[in-house]
């Protein structure tokens, strides 16, 4: 069997059998669940980095090629691959506040779902099957749409690229592929995830070549789309940065660990089980359908590999599955409907029960969405659990620093750096933050994590890069080490954060942070 896309008439057959009321019922149920999944109001740490860049761009009127936020040595070119995201988000936040950012997230999230649905329908899937598969994979909304990250643009543009590629492949109208060239210009300046779009074009060309179908248009568009990515503020230096960044290990960042790494770190959270369950269901259906369509198998196989290698990339697997799996489900439903023993499900009592259950689920989802104040943006001031991965912000400590006009280099937690840039710059300059490899040399990152994790050489970092202030997690190992160090005194403490200043008589070079930021090092 070549796959459901080989039979364009399937959609018409499916439409004739799918009752409009059933389609509407499933659509309402799905949309209510999808919106609930998107309702995350805890601000992501990266958001403050985007806003800080955008503020500098719009307020100063020039493009910053050098970092000015850190007191540690930085690279001599700040390749901020998410720069356009900041340029867009800052005026949106200034004019509309949190509701503006959240509305953008909902629009892109629901738009991505529509593109997945449209691509599945274009491949011949029935609407019920397409909605059921979307219901199966919609877990990626909760995982990938924290407010508000540059990735939301990547997911939408990835789904759009997939729709364009499928439309061109099935219709044979190659002119549609030209849309991928300007799309790559925008995508490359919004987020480094544009590489996923180029990879998608390559896999389609390879799959069609192996299937002995026309493949040359994909090669030409891939070359032009690749050249289009050079339209950025950094030119070829952007690709030099990406080459190093793609292979850079990030063992301290949870979303970048592999599935095996997550197991070793004890991070067997719900997302891993959802990924495994959906993958198993997919394999069973593909075996049942005797799926032999090489192009889709290549794309699914590569996104599975990405999902196993990095937890954050599992979203791509769910997106492509939402496009390819509905065709198989459509065939399954056609056989299922013909099963005499299942006719009991068509009885009025069964339908009424399903309608009642669906209404309860919709009501529950609407309630859950409403109580979370979906257009708000929250900054939890203290942790609610002992999990290190939980997001919260040192709002009390930041207010203390402002009130007491403390100045200089601020050594702080990785996840707090961008928030403190947004809140305290230019009063304070931070240590390592979520901009990570875009700003800091790899050796600085390694030395920083030795300190923040309280390794045996933690004091070496203080001697080499002395700060004026230290703001760290009050539940951490390094907190206890600093508390027992006579060189530092604690001046602020709450359940989530502790602030230290040098003990009386101690001096630190960190007070000279504005001069320290000019100490750039070469780009590797």
Q: How is 299-325 classified by DSSP, letter by letter?
A: HHHHHHHHHHH-GGGHHHHHHHHHHHH
Average pLDDT over residues 379-397: 86
Average pLDDT over residues 204-232: 95
Average pLDDT of every residue of the chain: 87
- Judged against a pLDDT cut of 70, whether residue 219 lies above it is answered with yes
Give the model's confidence band at 22: pLDDT under 50 very low, under 70 low, under 90 confident, else very high.
Answer: confident
Q: Which of 3-7, 110-114, 254-258, 284-288 has the highest mean pLDDT?
A: 110-114
d(CA 432, CA 449): 9
d(CA 449, CA 445): 6
- Judged against a pLDDT cut of 70, whether residue 2 lies above it is answered with no
Q: What is the pLDDT of residue 6?
A: 45
- Judged against a pLDDT cut of 50, whether residue 409 lies above it is answered with yes
Q: Check residues 517 and 23 and name the one with the higher pLDDT.
A: 23
CB-CB neighbours of 361 under 10 Å: 14
Lowest mean pLDDT among 93-97, 196-200, 282-286, 501-505: 501-505
Q: What is the pLDDT of residue 489?
A: 95
Which single residue is written with the structure tokens 């799918």? 18
Average pLDDT over residues 148-159: 95
Q: What is the pLDDT of residue 20?
A: 82
Tell me which long-range contacts 165-174 makes (C-beta under 8 A, separation of at least 24). 165/200, 165/201, 165/204, 166/5, 166/119, 166/122, 166/123, 166/323, 167/119, 167/122, 168/217, 169/204, 169/208, 169/295, 170/5, 170/8, 170/122, 170/123, 172/214, 174/217
Lowest mean pLDDT among 170-174, 343-347, 375-379, 438-442: 343-347
Provide the pairing of β-strand 488-493 with 469-473: unpaired
Q: What is the pLDDT of residue 516?
A: 35
Q: Using CB atoms within 10 A of its CB, is residue 317 exposed (0-12), middle (13-18) or buried (19+)?
A: buried
Average pLDDT over residues 66-73: 95
- Judged against a pLDDT cut of 90, whether residue 312 lies above it is answered with no
Whether omega for the bond prior to residue 426 falls within 30 degrees of 0, making it cis, is: yes
Q: What is the pLDDT of residue 269?
A: 58
Q: What is the pLDDT of residue 21?
A: 75
CB-CB neighbours of 208 under 10 Å: 20
Average pLDDT over residues 233-246: 91
d(CA 265, CA 263): 5
Give the model's confidence band at 230: pLDDT under 50 very low, under 70 low, under 90 confident, else very high.
Answer: very high
d(CA 367, CA 146): 20
Q: What is the pLDDT of residue 513?
A: 38
Half-sphere exposure of 214 (CA within 13 A, CB side): 11
Q: What is the pLDDT of residue 95?
A: 97
Q: Check residues 507 and 495 and name the one with the higher pLDDT.
A: 495
Q: What is the pLDDT of residue 345?
A: 57
- Judged against a pLDDT cut of 80, whether residue 425 lies above it is answered with yes
DSSP H or E run through 482:
helix 477-483
- Judged against a pLDDT cut of 50, whether residue 5 lies above it is answered with no
H helices, E strands: number in the chain: 22, 5
d(CA 50, CA 65): 15
Beta bridge partners of 472: 498
d(CA 135, CA 26): 9
pTM of the predicted structure, to 2 decimals: 0.89
Q: What is the pLDDT of residue 342?
A: 58
- Judged against a pLDDT cut of 90, whether residue 255 lies above it is answered with no
Average pLDDT over residues 76-83: 94
d(CA 197, CA 154): 9
Phi, psi values for residue 367, rounded to 5°:
-65, -45
Lowest mean pLDDT among 20-29, 203-212, 381-390: 381-390
């Amino acid at each position: 069997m070549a796959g459901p896309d080989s039979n364009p008439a399937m959609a018409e057959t499916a439409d004739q059998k799918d009752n409009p009321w059933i389609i509407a019922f499933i659509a309402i149920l799905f949309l209510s669940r999808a919106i609930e999944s998107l309702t995350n109001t805890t601000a992501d740490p990266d958001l403050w980095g985007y806003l800080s860049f955008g503020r500098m761009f719009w307020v100063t009127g020039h493009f910053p090629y050098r970092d000015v936020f850190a007191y540690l040595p930085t690279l001599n070119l700040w390749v901020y691959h998410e720069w356009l995201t900041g340029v867009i988000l800052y005026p949106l936040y200034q004019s509309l506040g949190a509701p503006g950012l959240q509305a953008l997230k909902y629009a892109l999230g629901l738009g991505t779902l529509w593109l997945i649905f449209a691509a599945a329908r274009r491949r011949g899937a029935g609407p019920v099957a397409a909605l059921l598969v979307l219901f199966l994979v919609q877990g990626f909304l909760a995982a990938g749409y924290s407010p508000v990250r540059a990735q939301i643009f990547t997911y939408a543009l990835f789904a759009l690229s997939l729709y364009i590629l499928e439309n061109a492949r099935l219709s044979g109208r190659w002119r549609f592929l030209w849309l991928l060239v300007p799309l790559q210009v925008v995508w490359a300046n919004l987020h480094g995830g544009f590489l996923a779009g180029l990879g998608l074009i390559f896999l389609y060309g390879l799959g069609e070549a192996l299937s002995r179908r026309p493949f040359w248009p994909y090669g030409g568009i891939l070359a032009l789309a690749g050249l289009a990515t050079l339209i950025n503020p950094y030119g070829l230096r952007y690709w030099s940065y990406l080459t190093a960044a793609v292979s850079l290990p990030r063992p301290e960042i949870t979303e970048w660990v592999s599935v095996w790494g997550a197991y070793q770190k004890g991070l067997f959270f719900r997302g891993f089980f959802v990924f495994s369950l959906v993958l198993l269901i997919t394999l069973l259906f593909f075996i049942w359908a005797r799926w032999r369509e090489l192009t889709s198998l290549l794309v699914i196989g590569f996104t599975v590999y990405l999902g196993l290698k990095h937890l954050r990339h599992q979203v791509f697997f769910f997106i492509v599955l939402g496009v390819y799996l509905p065709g198989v489900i459509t065939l399954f439903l056609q056989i299922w409907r013909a099963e005499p023993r299942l006719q009991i499900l068509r009885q009025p009592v069964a339908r009424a029960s399903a309608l009642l259950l669906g209404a309860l689920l919709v009501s529950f989802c609407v309630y859950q969405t409403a109580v979370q104040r979906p257009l708000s943006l929250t900054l939890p001031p203290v942790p609610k659990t002992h999990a290190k991965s939980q997001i919260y912000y040192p709002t009390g400590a930041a207010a203390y620093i402002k009130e007491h006009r403390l100045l200089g280099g601020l050594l702080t937690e990785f996840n707090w750096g961008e928030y403190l840039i947004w809140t305290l710059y230019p009063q304070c300059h931070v240590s390592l933050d979520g901009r990570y490899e875009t700003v800091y040399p790899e050796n600085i990152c390694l030395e920083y994590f030795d300190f923040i994790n309280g390794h045996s050489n933690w004091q070496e970092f203080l001697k080499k890069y002395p700060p004026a202030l230290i703001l760290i997690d009050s539940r951490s190992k390094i907190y206890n080490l600093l508390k027992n160090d006579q060189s530092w005194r604690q001046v602020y403490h709450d359940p989530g954060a502790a602030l230290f200043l040098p003990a009386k008589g101690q001096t630190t070079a960190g007070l000279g942070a504005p001069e320290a930021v000019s100490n750039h090092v070469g780009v590797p």
